[in-house]
Amino acid sequence: MLAVSGNRRLKAARDRMASAAREYAALGWPCFPGAHPPKAADRKGAADRRGGGVARACSCDRIGCPDPGAHPVSAAWAHQASVDAAVIDRWWSERPQANIILPTGRVFDVFDVPAAAGARALDRISRADLPVGPVASVGGDRSLFFVATRGAPVDEDEWWSCHLDCSPEDVAETPGMRWHCRDSYVVAPPSVLPAGRETGWVRPPSSEPLPDPLRLLEVLSDSCDAVASA
């Protein structure tokens, strides 16, 4: 009975991931399958094959993956990301546990800040009656603010890419902030990260226009500074 219940929960989780990907596609947000935390049996099997070594934290084959469960399954993600429902259904039928990757710099950019800074910024945004778009929580330690895309900034120093193979440039003026635009991506709800850490919407997507990133940049930057100096 317990096994049946567990299988139902697993199927529900898989259906939820595919359904969310379809919803993003319906908004015009290209999606791509992401890596995910391996099942317990997979982790144990990997550790046994390595002679009792440390079990994998990510479904990918990279030993010591720097971003477990939060990167695309293929290096071709930028070219293959799609809003085609049939393509998305095929991807998630083949990889039902896959997390959801959203490329940035196309429909939207994303400000990625520490969770404490995100909460502080949301309070200030509310009091100042500033426009705000979708906001996601990632693993309980980061907040993602979705804003209108600026495409390809003229000043290359104005953008920082994803951190699977590189770390965003340290910017002393804005500690802890990443600005995901072209050639970058974010992991989207309801993706699950290692140790059961979840992603979820604080403010879900809607049909409202996304805010100008420059309207929120100062608030988020100030919030990051305040948290860093606390």
List the domains of the chain with CATH numbers: 104-230 (3.30.2250)
The model's pLDDT over 49-79, given as tens digits with 9 standing for 90+, comes to 444 555 688 999 788 899 999 999 999 999 9
Backbone angles phi, psi at 115, to 5 degrees: -55, -40
DSSP calls for 89-102: HHHHHHSTT-EEEE
Name the amino acid, one letter, at 161: S
Q: List Cα–Cα distances, 156 to 112, 142, 182, in angstroms.
A: 18, 24, 11
Quick one: pLDDT at residue 138?
A: 97
Give the tokens for residue 10. 């697993």
Q: Calculate the average pLDDT of the chain.
A: 85
Is-contact 203 132, C-beta < 8 A? Answer: yes
pLDDT bin (cut points 50, 70, 90) of residue 154 is low
The model's pLDDT over 168-226, given as tens digits with 9 standing for 90+, comes to 444 456 788 998 988 899 999 999 999 999 999 999 999 999 999 999 999 999 999 99
Task: Taking residues 143-170, report their average pLDDT.
Answer: 63
Quick one: pLDDT at residue 110?
A: 94
d(CA 95, CA 71): 14
d(CA 37, CA 16): 16
Which residue, among 207, 143, 137, has the nearest Cα to 177 in the 3D structure? 143
d(CA 141, CA 127): 23
